[in-house]
Amino acid sequence: MVRVWDGWILFSTITLFLIGEIVIASVNLVPYIWEQYSTASIYRKPLLQLFVFLLGFWLATALARMDYRLFVRGSVPYLFVFLSLISLFIVFIKKTISDKAVDRWLFGVSVQPLEFAKISLVIFLSYYIVRKGNLRQWKHLFWAIFFPLLMVLLLIMQPDKGGAVFLLIMTALMVYVGGVPKRVYVVVFPLMLIVVYYILTSKGYVAERLSAWKDPFLDPEDSGYQIIQSLYALAKGGLLGVGIGQGIQKMGPLPAADTDYVIAVLGEEMGFLGVMLVIVLYSLLMFRLLWYSLKVTEPVGKLILVGTAMNFALSFFWNLAMASNLLPPKGIALPFLSYGSSNLFASLIFLGIAQSVINHAESKSVSFSSTSSTLINVKHA
């Protein structure tokens, strides 16, 4: 029987999902089950999350069996980017017609195009960088970042400035790994910092979040409220936590308890050891993806694995840093743990494509002594 999934990737993914499902049930089910056990709405989120995981895992397994080269053949990568741009543009049109202040969803409050744009970004950049050999020519670099910048612009219009910064960072990392000459850093890096600074310091809710991040206790009832409640939850959990289902912060004090601040609920109920378990599982997942990126010899597959690992690493570190106030608050979901159909489904698709690379790309034996070189053979001259 041919192996479909790497055992450690499968173990870390399923375990992370189960931990997330426990937290989602703790927030939405446990407090109400004794008095409202016949109310269907209290079961909705845990069951929907389970259904999306099973559907996404089935699709990811099907993708893992397919040859990933089908996704980077001909105009397919451009098709993925085009669909992402269209979906983001539809959100903008929908927001304009409804005259809403914020709208980030394609249908109602479901299907968030940002999550799928991350996949198209990694596939397109992996394909384009390898097709051009490197990004040492300005025209190649321009077209490599042109489509990602269009996505960023459409995200700013939603507005989702945190998502825009996320895509900018992902693009910068992929382009760096792809082999950008050092002279480009002198021009592009300062411009990127200016763009990020403008996004983060422009008037509105982002400025309020930055102010709350600097000192949440200056406005503890409004802009600093979420951060303070998250810190309270993490502090209350201690080493072992108060027990699964016994947390208090999820009962109202902590907004977005099963989405943006799922790690705070986990920290309160499972303690420092529970948070460390999640850190170990994510580290295992990212290590396996990067380890295979060293073994794979085919350049496009190598970059897809690196991009997939970067996506999970950036999401994880961003969410954890936000919950502990090391970064300004921004709704970046914690893959496999946070409640949310789009993020969970897209994360599983990401893994399915990465596993396809592992299964179908030619590999070489690698020792730890060889990992001191860059992930792909590029020059930054």
Token digits for 231? 């810190």
> Which of helix, strand or coil describes residue 110?
strand
Q: Are 352 and 360 contacting, i.e. CB atoms less than 8 angstroms apart?
A: no
* Mean pLDDT (whole number) for 262-280: 93
- Residues 236, 327: one domain? yes
% the chain with pLDDT above 70:
86
Residue 374: what pLDDT? 45
Helical (H) or strand (E) element with 72: none
Domain boundary among 202, 222, 251: 202
Q: Is residue 90 part of a domain?
A: yes
Q: Are 31 and 24 contacting, i.e. CB atoms less than 8 angstroms apart?
A: no
Range of the domain at 87: 70-202
| Residues 6 or more apart in contact with residue 160 via CB below 8 angstroms | 102, 104, 114
Beta bridge partners of 107: 110
Token digits for 370? 């060889």
* Mean pLDDT (whole number) for 163-172: 89
- Residues 132, 260: one domain? no
Cα dihedral across residues 323, 260, 12, 377: positive or negative: negative
Token digits for 362? 């030619």
* Mean pLDDT (whole number) for 338-365: 90
- Residues 234, 328: one domain? yes
Cα dihedral across residues 135, 137, 143, 148: positive or negative: positive
> Which of helix, strand or coil describes residue 136?
coil
133 vs 90, more confident: 90
Lowest mean pLDDT among 134-148, 192-206, 299-313, 330-344: 192-206
Q: Are 68 and 122 contacting, i.e. CB atoms less than 8 angstroms apart?
A: no
Q: Is residue 341 part of a domain?
A: yes
- Residues 43, 167: one domain? no
Lowest mean pLDDT among 133-147, 155-169, 330-344: 133-147
Q: Distance from first CA to last CA of the chain, Å, rounded?
A: 46
Q: Is residue 379 part of a domain?
A: no
Angle between helices 7-28 and 262-295 (to 10 degrees): 170
Cα dihedral across residues 253, 220, 324, 344: positive or negative: positive
Q: Is residue 2 part of a domain?
A: yes
- Residues 28, 42: one domain? yes
Domain boundary among 184, 202, 220: 202
Q: Is residue 337 part of a domain?
A: yes
364 vs 244, more confident: 244
In whole angstroms, give the CA distance from residue 180 to residue 169.
Answer: 15
Q: Is residue 380 part of a domain?
A: no
328 vs 234, more confident: 234
Q: Is residue 381 part of a domain?
A: no
Model confidence over 100-137: pLDDT tens digits? 777 777 776 678 899 999 999 999 999 998 888 777 77
| Mean residue pLDDT across the chain | 84
Model confidence over 11-40: pLDDT tens digits? 999 999 999 999 999 988 877 777 777 777
Residue 373: what pLDDT? 38
- Residues 187, 229: one domain? no
Residue 110: what pLDDT? 72
- Residues 55, 81: one domain? no
- Residues 92, 198: one domain? yes
Tell whether the model's pLDDT for residue 201 goes beyond 90: no
* Mean pLDDT (whole number) for 277-293: 95
- Residues 262, 362: one domain? yes
- Residues 260, 147: one domain? no
In whole angstroms, give the CA distance from residue 341 to residue 348.
Answer: 11
- Residues 7, 18: one domain? yes
Residue 357: what pLDDT? 95
- Residues 230, 364: one domain? yes
Task: For residue 200, count CB atoms less than 10 angstroms from its CB and return exposed for 0-12, middle for 13-18, buried for 19 or more.
Answer: middle
Domain boundary among 150, 183, 202: 202
Instruction: State how many domains the chain has.
Output: 2
* Mean pLDDT (whole number) for 328-355: 90
Which region, left, alpha or beta, applies to residue 108 given φ > 0 means left and ψ of -120 to 50 means alpha? left
In whole angstroms, give the CA distance from residue 154 to residue 96.
Answer: 12
User: Which range is most confident: 22-31, 44-53, 193-202, 237-246?
Assistant: 44-53
Residue that has been written with the tokens 């399915």 in this structure: 352
